[in-house]
Amino acid sequence: MGRAFLIVMDSVGCGGAPDADVFGDSGANTLAHIAQACAAGCAEVGRQGPLALPHLDVLGLGAAIRLASGAATPGLEAAPAGIWGAATEVSRGKDTPSGHWELAGVPVPWDWHYFPTTPPAFPPDLADAVAAAAGTEGILGNCHASGVPIIEALGAEHIRSGWPICYTSADSVFQIAAHEEHFGLARLLALCEAVAPRLHAMKVGRVIARPFTGAPGAFRRTGNRRDYAIAPPSPTLLDWAQTAGRMTYGVGKIGDIFSGQGISQQRKGPDDAALFDALLDLADAAEDGALVFANFVEFDSLYGHRRDVAGYARALEWFDTRLGMLLPRLRADDLLILTADHGNDPTWRGTDHTRERVPVLVHGRGAGTIGLVAFADVAASVAAHLEIPAQPPGRSFL
């Protein structure tokens, strides 16, 4: 019996979402714009030349971008040797839980709560509740912000006052940053866990702990981030597999995204390099019939939100090199699906996710195109490969 490896390259969108204009993202295209910038010599920091992704491209990456959006893909022009297509999301969001849940077969049935862009972002009763849970007289921030700049701006005051730094973004999130030594990592995690039920009741998708260390002028976020996500509204692919008696492995922040539901074992690490090592170990050791569900977040967290085109290109090329190490370790009856959860075009305005279609690249089931499919079809296809029952609305493309 074969195994299934479902890998989400966080934010690696390919443009063309039919409702992108609703989100202010008409024209955004993460992969195409990176490829075009590289070909034009505009992404030369730490790398050079056209975007080089030989393993992803031969699986159909360039073809998927062209299918999704019609955009030019310089450097990504290989004839596909895998099954390839692009997926369109129906959930009304461009956030991590929406994308992952729908890829796992469960579109989000509600509208997420978003905080206003004008400060204060949070209602007084919520700010007071967070301060009370923290044991402080108030909170800092209370606005829309990007994580690194707000820590730089408020880190010193946070150390002086002891108040947590609370902020949000265009996503449905409530983020709390605190210094690991001065505030305490365990205290930060306990605070996030305490306030998460209140935020979830408001249909805020995630409460995110954002620990950092260092001194003013040299603060840095650590790898101890923790997401407290609202639970999926119904059983997902992970639950389907576990109910059928299969081992399920979450790699990266999958456990956080799914609130631990349906996951037999979790593999975490300080960065994507460590997570890929864990993935390689599972390719060697995971038992027949297992589901390995992995998320690689640094495309999004380190380069997309920071609008770092060259950094994003470097991350893609690094991932492609590691993919070349994974493919030979897969067994003849294994299924590998590579996809994404949303876009985060580093050439786009602002610092937020972008509403895009995502590539769907399949290794282990021959070659050919599946065309434009739904996010939920990914879950149905994995279930079909594992020979386990699936729930609608997805349909297998295998």
What dihedral angle (degrees, nearest 10) is formed by the CA atoms of 174, 169, 86, 307? -130
Question: CA 177, 179, 183, 188 torsion: positive or negative?
Answer: positive
Q: Which of 64, 98, 93, 68 is nearest to 78 (CA)?
A: 64
Q: Using an 8 Å Cβ cutoff, are 347 and 357 in contact?
A: no
Pairing of strands 220-221, 291-296: unpaired
CA–chain centroid gap for 6, Å, is 13
User: In Å, what is the CA distance from 123 to each residue of 130, 138, 350?
Assistant: 11, 13, 24
Taking alpha carbons only, the member of 49, 7, 100, 63 closest to residue 317 is 49
What letter would DSSP give residue 21? G
> Which DSSP category does 173 fall into?
E
Residues in the annotated binding site for Mn(2+): 10, 300, 305, 341-342, 353
Copy the structure tokens of residue 368: 């050919």
Token pair 């997401």 in the structure block, residue: 227
Query: Facing residues of 338 across strands?
Result: 7, 361
Q: What residues are designated binding site?
A: 10, 300, 305, 341-342, 353
Contact 394, 374 (CB under 8 A): yes
Question: Which stretches of the chain are assigned E, i.e. beta strand?
Answer: 4-9, 83-88, 140-144, 165-168, 173-179, 206-213, 220-221, 226-229, 248-251, 265-267, 291-296, 335-339, 358-363, 368-374
Q: Are 158 and 184 in contact (CB under 8 A)?
A: no
C-alpha–C-alpha distance, residues 65 and 237, integer Å? 26
**Is the CB of residue 211 less than 8 Å from the CB of residue 178?**
yes
Look at residues 72, 7, 3, 1 and name the one whose alpha carbon lies nearest to residue 276. 7
